[in-house]
């Protein structure tokens, strides 16, 4: 009898283990049936999934397939039962698109206020609904959508037509958007917007195509007479400027007399922008010339940011202060510009003004927050306000339906769906709830979610969750061979992959340390790995072994400076070398801020900031380097 009970217990245990796996397989099948439009097969799967954590999504799949023809009661029943969940917001958004397209404005008006995730298409449908209701405020609100270089959804077209006919978008506003589009190379968008210009004034499509194909020939052969000619000439100059500053400047010198003062200011600012990105010493002069005209063209925040960076390379603190003050109020509040404004004030002897910026900035857990702290003579401390979640908090969090859905998606390797469900679930969490959720994610191997969730806390923190250190035993063995700084390597891996072992980038980089195939193959040869295959790069130990070898190699070729090696790891050693100054040494923070690639600039700052926190979390002692010491001074070429 006892043996029989034991066998029954084993059978039940085996059934309990295999049931989630089989149901996960059924959900994958249901999802595929939905994507293929196979309603009958979807219904077959649905009958087996009613107790699965993702049952609401199966219901969504079924209803979504008949959304255009189903009755309103069925839709509202679903929304009511799942109110507050992501799946309800998704269905509401889908329904609103149908309502907007069919101009069913009464229903649209009733449902739209409850939608959380909004986009430009739905926003424009909302504006259409309000226009139909004679809402006078809508034209003023909708105007901001116009000023973009990008294509906008079809639902925005009636709104824009109403703005133009109502005088809220002027002829100059239309030309402004055409210029924005051409500046980004969006000739299709420019041509589309061109329809709102009278035909006798509009862009000449043949000239535009010729300028796009061969800007140098166009500028050499075309006479500038009209507004259309000027805009296309500026477009051609910008095309040249993308590849060659000198060639663009030479052509500019030939035609500048045919342009207006505002046009000249516009191009000079962009000439300065491109030159600053190339660390060309002429950039500051071109920026100044752009403003010293009768009608200076209003510079964008991006242009002004590069004017500041050009000024940093030559330590022109007056220009730094003046340029930051010209930025938009929103841009000036970014930690980057608050820090450099405070540094400029300090250099100019305004210590109270500088400290008035440094003190609040030093409380922020960012690259510039840490540098501000060091300017005030403080060292990084992470012991204050540490919050440790209890076992009961974690258990309760794990039982939340939204968390269970995110875990189920993650278990099936549906990362995008897991990410969306997770972000929705934690969106209004308190600090304690965020940390409990982060701990759940850590325990389930969702290291990226654990880190990003712990990063959201405002006043109560757990830096052991913000700066996780998985695979430490394996990594330490490898690091001892190369004598690499553990905190720096962890800071780099955290930025590269968030510790997702099998992740691959669009460019093909793989694994914890995001090795490109050619790099992995080269390192494997150096290490004498026989029969190397790219599929082993995602193995944790292999990836760490290859990645740390390459990192040590890069570090040795770049003056043993982690700053330069971090830049090289992301953008290549050749670029990291080229970004040094020709004649003078550069403060490390200035080198980092003037990296021309947005991705690499952000990457380097985060890696070095991460290393500071890892030094504390991994208990490397208080004698570890400061951030300024880690950044160092970058020697001239």
Q: Note whether 589 and 637 are within 8 A (CB).
A: no
Between CA 209 and CA 191 the distance in angstroms is 10
Do 134 and 165 touch, CB atoms closer than 8 A?
no
**Local structure of residue 327 (DSSP, 8 states):** S
Question: Which candidate in 421, 486, 496, 593 is catalytic?
Answer: 496
Kindly state the tokens that stand for 350.
């305004």
- 373-411 pLDDT, tens digit per residue, is 999 998 777 655 678 999 999 999 999 999 999 999 999
Report how far residue 197's alpha carbon sits from residue 203's, in angstroms, rounded to the nearest whole number: 8
Please answer whether residues 473 and 532 qualify as being in contact, where contact means their C-beta atoms are separated by less than 8 angstroms: no
pLDDT of residue 385: 61
Question: What pLDDT was estimated at residue 103?
Answer: 97
Is residue 384 classed as helix, strand or coil in its secondary structure?
coil
Over residues 215-223, mean pLDDT: 94
Give residue 281's Cα distance to chain centre.
Answer: 30
Interior angle at CA 300, CA 226 and CA 309, nearest 5: 125
Q: Is residue 490 over pLDDT 60?
A: yes
> pLDDT value at position 179?
97
In angstroms, the CA 152 to CA 163 distance is 15
**For residues 551-556, average pLDDT:** 97
- Cα distance between residue 436 and residue 454, in whole Å: 9
Q: Count of CB atoms within 10 A of residue 142's CB?
A: 23
Question: In the structure encoding, which two tokens stand for residue 615, read together?
Answer: 């030094």
**Cβ–Cβ under 8 Å, residues 7 and 19:** no
Q: Is the pLDDT of residue 15 over 80?
A: no
Whole-number pLDDT of residue 294: 84
- Please report the pLDDT score of residue 13 as a whole number: 39
Tokens of 145: 């959508």
Contact 491, 551 (CB under 8 A): no
The pair phi, psi for residue 274, each rounded to 5°, is: -65, -40
Each residue's pLDDT tens digit, 224-235: 999 999 999 999
CA angle 191–194–195, rounded 5-degree value? 105
pLDDT tens digits for range 44-101? 999 999 999 999 999 999 999 999 999 999 999 999 999 999 999 999 999 999 999 9
For residue 8, what pLDDT band results from cuts at 50, 70 and 90? very low
Query: Looking at residues 508-525, what average pLDDT do you find?
Result: 96
- For the ranges 20-24, 380-384, 522-526, which has the lowest average pLDDT? 380-384
Helix then strand then coil, in percent of the chain rounded to 5, is 70, 0, 30
Active site residue 231: no
Determine the pLDDT at residue 4.
53
- Kindly state the helix (H) or strand (E) to which residue 586 belongs, with its residue range: strand 586-587
pTM of the model: 0.93
Q: Which CB contacts under 8 angstroms, 24+ apart, belong to 507-510? A: 510/534, 510/537, 510/538, 510/543
Q: Where are the alpha helices (DSSP H) in 278-334?
A: 283-291, 301-313, 317-326, 329-332
d(CA 80, CA 68): 19
pLDDT, tens only, 240-274: 999 999 999 999 999 999 999 999 999 999 999 99
Model confidence at 18, in pLDDT bands (50, 70, 90)?
A: very low
């Amino acid at each position: 009898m006892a043996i029989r009970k034991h066998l029954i217990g084993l059978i039940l245990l085996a059934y309990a283990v295999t049931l989630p796996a089989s149901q996960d397989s059924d959900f994958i099948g249901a999802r595929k049936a939905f994507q293929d439009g196979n309603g009958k097969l979807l219904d077959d799967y649905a009958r087996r999934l009613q107790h699965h954590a993702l049952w609401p999504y199966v219901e969504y799949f079924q209803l979504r397939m008949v959304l255009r023809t189903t009755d309103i009661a069925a839709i509202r029943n679903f929304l009511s039962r799942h109110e507050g969940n992501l799946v309800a917001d998704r269905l509401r958004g889908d329904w609103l698109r149908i309502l907007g397209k069919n101009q069913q404005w009464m229903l649209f008006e009733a449902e739209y206020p409850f939608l959380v995730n909004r986009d430009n298409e739905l926003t424009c449908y909302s504006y259409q609904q309000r226009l139909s209701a004679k809402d006078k405020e809508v034209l003023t609100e909708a105007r901001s959508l116009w000023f973009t270089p990008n294509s906008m959804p079809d639902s925005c077209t009636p709104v824009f037509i109403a703005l133009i006919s109502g005088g809220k978008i002027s002829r100059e506003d239309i030309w402004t958007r055409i210029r924005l589009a051409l500046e980004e190379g969006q000739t299709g968008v420019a041509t589309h917007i061109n329809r709102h210009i009278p035909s006798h004034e509009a862009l000449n499509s043949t000239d535009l195509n010729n300028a796009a194909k061969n800007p140098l020939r166009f500028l050499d052969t075309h006479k500038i007479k009209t507004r259309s000619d000027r805009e296309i000439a500026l477009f051609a100059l910008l095309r040249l400027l993308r590849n060659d500053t000198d060639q663009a400047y030479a052509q500019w010198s030939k035609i500048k007399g045919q342009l207006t003062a505002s046009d000249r200011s516009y191009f000079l600012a962009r000439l300065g922008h491109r030159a600053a990105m190339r660390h060309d010493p002429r950039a500051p002069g071109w920026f100044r010339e752009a403003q010293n005209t009768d009608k200076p063209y209003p510079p964008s925040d991006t242009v002004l940011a590069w004017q500041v960076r050009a000024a940093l390379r030559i330590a022109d603190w007056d220009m730094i202060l003046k340029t930051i003050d010209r930025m938009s109020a929103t841009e000036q509040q970014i930690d980057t510009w608050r820090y450099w404004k405070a540094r400029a004030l300090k250099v100019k002897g305004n210590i109270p003004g500088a400290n008035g910026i440094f003190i609040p900035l030093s409380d922020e857990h960012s690259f510039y927050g840490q540098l501000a702290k060091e300017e005030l003579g403080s060292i990084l401390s992470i012991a204050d306000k540490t919050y440790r979640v209890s076992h009961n908090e974690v258990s309760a969090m794990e039982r939340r339906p939204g968390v269970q859905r995110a875990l189920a998606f993650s278990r099936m390797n549906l990362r995008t769906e897991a990410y969306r469900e997770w972000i929705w679930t934690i969106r209004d969490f308190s600090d304690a709830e965020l940390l409990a959720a982060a701990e759940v994610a850590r325990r389930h191997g969702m290291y990226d979610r654990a880190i990003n969730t712990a990063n959201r806390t405002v006043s109560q923190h757990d830096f052991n969750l913000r700066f996780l250190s998985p695979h430490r035993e394996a990594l330490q063995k490898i690091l001892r061979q190369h004598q690499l700084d553990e905190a720096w390597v962890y800071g780099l891996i955290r930025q590269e992959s968030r510790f997702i072992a099998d992740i691959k980038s669009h460019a093909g980089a793989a694994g914890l340390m995001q090795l490109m195939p050619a790099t992995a193959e080269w390192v494997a040869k150096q290490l004498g790995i026989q029969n190397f295959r790219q599929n082993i790069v995602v193995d944790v130990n292999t990836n760490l072994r290859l990645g740390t070898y390459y990192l040590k190699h890069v570090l040795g070729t770049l003056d043993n400076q982690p700053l330069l090696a971090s830049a090289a790891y992301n953008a290549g050693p050749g670029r990291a070398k080229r970004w040094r100054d020709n004649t003078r040494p550069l403060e490390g923070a200035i080198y980092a801020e003037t990296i021309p690639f947005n991705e690499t600039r952000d990457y380097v700052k985060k890696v070095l900031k991460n290393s500071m926190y890892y030094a504390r979390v991994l208990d490397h002692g208080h004698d570890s380097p400061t951030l300024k010491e880690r950044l160092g001074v970058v020697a001239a070429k």
